């Protein structure tokens, strides 16, 4: 259903507000550069500090600018099930192709609670749902058994796996087969994830290197593995630089170097240190993204 390089989009700000023009220009550039899909209002889009009105507006702007050229997977998660349902309903009304629903952070639900949470959303809205499993931010980890149980629901179609556990895609493949779309949530292991049965990557780095990230995925799916490995090695230092400080501070600064937006983030994210900026710029130059 979904494959390749899907960009976890940044949300540009200017003077404290969403920069709508910069965002839509950015969406167009992503598509022109070959990205296979777009994911607004995820962690990289600073969803925790967007108001509900801003969140919904960003989804609408993305769908409008994409205009059906590539799939839009709208971030719709919340640690409140009712809020997640509301975001999911809005995403469908806005024309999104699917939603990305993060495991409920802070509440620390049991595995049973996770099942009830996702089933409530899947039963409330008829739209493809991708589970976002990221224990490092949410504290909880959805087990493969729980995920396989949820995969029985027609609307729950895949996972963004940010566990960095490369045994998981193979385990899920054995439990649910090819029908369940497994997407990596970690740029640095995206090729290894493909080798273990994955279909693509929801990528942070693709914000600033969309062509290279798409080329890596295309090369793998075409079976030209040497080219995939070559691009992997070019991107490796850039992946590391994108997380030299908390995401999305580094990738927003990198995007600003390309003239795509201001580097502004919202508190509690702090401005980047000078040392971090230098490392990011160096990695961008090494990848051939800056003259």
Catalytic residue numbers, as ranges: 132, 160
Which string of DSSP letters, residue by residue, matches 186-232?
Answer: -GGGHHHHHHTT--EEEESGGGT-HHHHHHHHHHHHHT-HHHHHHHH
Q: And the tokens for 139? A: 């504290």
Query: Do 117 and 109 meet the contact criterion of CB atoms below 8 Å apart?
Result: yes
SS3 of residue 129 by DSSP: strand
Nearest to 96 by CA among 121, 73, 78, 75: 73
**Taking phi first (over 0 means left), then psi (-120 to 50 degrees means alpha), and beta for anything else, what does residue 95 get?**
left
Residue recorded with tokens 């693709």: 206
**Distances from the Cα of 11 to the Cα of 75, 97, 134, 263, angstroms:** 12, 19, 20, 10
Sign of the CA dihedral with 27 first, then 164, 130, and 229 last = positive
SS3 of residue 182 by DSSP: strand
What does the alpha-carbon distance between residue 47 and residue 270 come to, in Å, rounded to a whole number?
A: 16
Query: Do 227 and 246 meet the contact criterion of CB atoms below 8 Å apart?
Result: no
């Amino acid at each position: 259903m979904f494959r390749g390089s899907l960009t976890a989009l940044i949300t540009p700000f200017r003077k404290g507000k969403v920069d709508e023009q910069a965002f839509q220009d950015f969406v167009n550039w992503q598509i022109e550069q070959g990205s296979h899909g777009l994911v607004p209002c995820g962690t990289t889009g600073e969803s925790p500090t967007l108001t509900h009105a801003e969140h919904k507006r960003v989804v609408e702007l993305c769908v409008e600018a994409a205009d059906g050229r590539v799939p839009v997977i709208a971030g719709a998660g919340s640690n409140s099930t009712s809020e997640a349902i509301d975001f999911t309903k809005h995403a469908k009304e806005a024309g999104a192709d699917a939603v990305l629903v993060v495991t409920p952070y802070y509440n620390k639900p049991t595995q049973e609670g996770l099942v009830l949470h996702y089933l409530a959303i899947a039963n409330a809205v008829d739209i493809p749902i991708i589970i976002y499993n990221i224990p490092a931010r949410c504290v909880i980890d959805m087990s493969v058994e729980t995920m396989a149980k949820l995969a029985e629901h027609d609307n729950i179609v895949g996972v963004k796996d940010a566990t960095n556990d490369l045994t998981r895609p193979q385990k899920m493949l054995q439990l649910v087969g090819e029908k369940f779309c497994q997407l990596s949530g970690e740029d640095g292991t995206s090729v290894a994830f493909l080798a273990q049965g994955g279909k693509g990557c929801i990528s942070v780095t693709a914000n600033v290197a969309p062509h290279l990230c798409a080329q890596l995925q295309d090369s793998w799916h075409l079976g030209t593995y040497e080219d995939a490995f070559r691009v992997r090695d070019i991107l490796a230092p850039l992946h590391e630089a994108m997380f030299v400080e908390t995401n999305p501070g580094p990738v927003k600064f990198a995007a600003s170097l390309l003239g795509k937006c201001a580097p502004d983030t919202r508190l509690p994210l702090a401005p980047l240190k000078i040392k971090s900026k230098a490392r990011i710029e160096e990695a961008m130059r090494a990848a051939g993204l800056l003259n």
